[in-house]
Structure 1
Amino acid sequence: MNVALIFAGGSGTRMNSKGKPKQFLQFYGKELIVHTLENFQNHQNIDAITVVCIEEWIPYLQKLVTKYEIDKVLRIVAGGKTGQESIYNGLKAVSSLNYDNPVVLIHDGVRPFVNEELISSCIESVKKYGSAITVTPAIETIVTIDDNKIQSITDRSKCFHAKAPQCFYLNDILSAHERAISDKQTNIIDSASLMKLYGYELFTVKGNFDNIKITTPADFYTFKALYEVRENQQIFGL
């Protein structure tokens, strides 16, 4: 079994959205979270979807799920005080589905351009290696800085950006979260960092460059351009 765990807990402050979280802003007639969810809804190998959401926005999300017939969403749960706690809440909800150690694809609700090929590659990587971290190559020079001075310049060919989905077997990622809670490690930035901390090997899947995260007003214009490109490709068969 393969379950998508979608994190939609951000408040949208960087988007300057005046109260509405960015995942619920409308783009081309649909809320951003809907664009994201439909990619997993339409993938033949995704069996279920769990969404972690800001608690007061759960009724609104439930209405959207019904409106757009996203029937693979089986759980919507409230987030926590941190991203780490929110994902843990989502993992417990996945566990409540009583599947036998499913593959869990952890993904940002504001990454609407995850595509079918990437989802498939992530599932295959977990089944082969036990993990799948989506990465894209760094396209600019990476430097380390101390006291406003460049200390080192890293070989760019070895540098990648870690993105999402980040995918694991449920038992592994849930166990790592529970160890972190026991160790009072409460603000780890993402699932890859958490799994690396506890000694798990992390294998990568090359992601698509347009799998961007919509977090700022500038990202909206990038979304618009990418969306129009995709629409034109479908219309003209490109």
Structure 2
Amino acid sequence: MTVYAQILAGGKGTRMGNTAMPKQFLPLGKKPILIQTIEKFVLEERFKAILVVCPVDWLTHTQDLVHKYVTDQRVVVITGGAERNDTLMNGIKYIEENFGLQDDDAVVTHDAVRPFITKRIIDDNIKAVMKYPAVDTVVPAIDTIVRGKDDQVEEIPIRDYMYQGQTPQSFNIKHLKAAFNQLTDQQKAILSDSCKICLLAGEAVHVVRGELANIKITTPYDLKIARAIIETRVNI
């Protein structure tokens, strides 16, 4: 079994507000958020390659950052697509064209803006994807989840069965490709989560536990929290 990592850095960060660059390139401590994330994956020796998939307009900038901060030759920068799952499939295409594809090959995909991922979470994903075609990282929901539409509450599900999704999300690559190719264009257009590709195709998705600190830096408030975490760790 060959395992690859794919760090999804294709977002434009519109919810971060008026910034000079996408959120993954913003500073966090002494390094950009993206680099903080890449460094966690470089520590895992089982990855054959670590793909960083970025917006085409930021390709040179991303390559320059990786060259400046990262010495591991497994890290490769490529361009993503228009949407998250286009970006994911661009990475799969690169793997297939450059390394070939065997039946049990797997990919561990992660948001570039979740820099506090731990070795334990990565390890649990690798172990799980050896057994299951699709793996999602989740934490139990703390708040009550309310489902609604048009400013009306339609359902309040039982919280014991509710989780908040994180990343990594890990997949057997051939299963993921087959599932994606089964979807209609309409289904592909509304996908907001990669594990849903497998669910829509009838594949089971296994879960591993994430951690509350494995936050996604999406808004200015998230960035403040992340910087506070970094400062705390530096001062310990």
Matched, 1:98 2:100: yes
**Normalising by structure 1, what TM-score?**
0.90
> Conserved in 1, the CA contact under 8 Å of 2:48 and 2:74?
no
Of the three residues 202, 206, 213, the one matched with 1:203 is 206
How far apart, CA to CA, are the structure 1 residues paired with 2:176 and 2:170? Answer: 9
Name the CA distance, whole Å, in 1 between partners of 2:209 and 2:198: 19
Aligned counterparts of 1:73 and 1:17: Cα–Cα separation in 2: 34
Preserved contact between residue 75 and residue 93 of structure 1 (Cα < 8 Å): no
- Hey, what's the Cα distance between the residues in 1 that align with 2:86 and 2:149? 31
TM normalised by structure 2 equals: 0.91
Distance (Å, rounded) in 1 between the aligned partners of 2:233 and 2:124: 21
1:191 aligns with 2:189: no
Instruction: Write the letter of the residue equivalent to 2:119.
Output: E
For the Cα contact (< 8 Å) 1:4–1:46, is it kept in 2?
Answer: yes
Structure 1 CA distance, aligned partners of 2:151 and 2:57?
Answer: 43
Deviation readout 1:51-93 (Å, 9 max, x if unpaired): 2111121111111212122424443222212112111111111
Deviation of residue 3 (structure 1)?
Answer: 0.8
Q: Partners in 2 of 1:170 and 1:72 — Cα distance?
A: 22
Paired position in structure 2 for 1:46: 47
Query: Could you tell me which of 98, 113, 116 is aligned with 1:113?
Result: 116
Gaps of 5+ in 2: none
Does the residue aligned with 2:47 lie in a helix, a strand or coil?
A: coil
**Is the alpha carbon distance of 1:146 and 1:20 closer, same or farther for their aligned partners in structure 2, counting shifts above 3 Å?**
closer
For the aligned residues, what is the CA RMSD? 1.7
The aligned counterpart of 1:87 is 88
Alpha-carbon spacing, 1:46–1:128, altered in 2? closer, same or farther (3 Å): same
Aligned length: 231
Residue aligning to 1:176: 179
AA at the equivalent of 2:65: L
Q: 1:31 to 1:138 in 2, by over 3 A?
A: same
Distance 1:192 1:127, change over 3 A: same
* Deviates most, 49-58 or 146-155: 146-155
Where 2:192 maps in the other structure, the secondary structure is coil
State the partner residue of 1:159: 162
Residues 103 and 230 from structure 1, CA distance in 2 versus in 1: closer, same or farther, beyond 3 angstroms? Answer: farther
Partner residue in 1 for 2:27 = 26
Asked if structure 2 preserves the Cα contact closer than 8 Å seen for 1:65 and 1:73, the reply is no
1:59 partner amino acid: T
User: Which residue number in structure 2 is paired with residue 137 of structure 1?
Assistant: 140
- After TM superposition, give the deviation of residue 146 of structure 1 in Å: 4.2
Amino acid at match of 2:86: E
Shift of 1:143: 1.9
Partners of 2:175 and 2:21 lie apart in 1 by 35
Given candidates 196, 207, 221, the residue that maps to 1:218 is 221
8 Å contact kept, 2:13–2:23 = yes
Distance 2:232 2:106 in 1: 31
Over residues 132-169 of structure 1, what are the superposed CA-to-partner deviations in whole Å (9 max), with x where a residue is unaligned? 20001100111222453333321111100111100011
- Alignment partner, residue 2 of structure 1: 3
Letter in 2 for 1:118: I
* Preserved contact between residue 85 and residue 186 of structure 1 (Cα < 8 Å): no
1:202 to partner: Cα distance: 0.4
* 3-state SS of 2:21 partner: coil
Distance 1:147 1:61, change over 3 A: closer
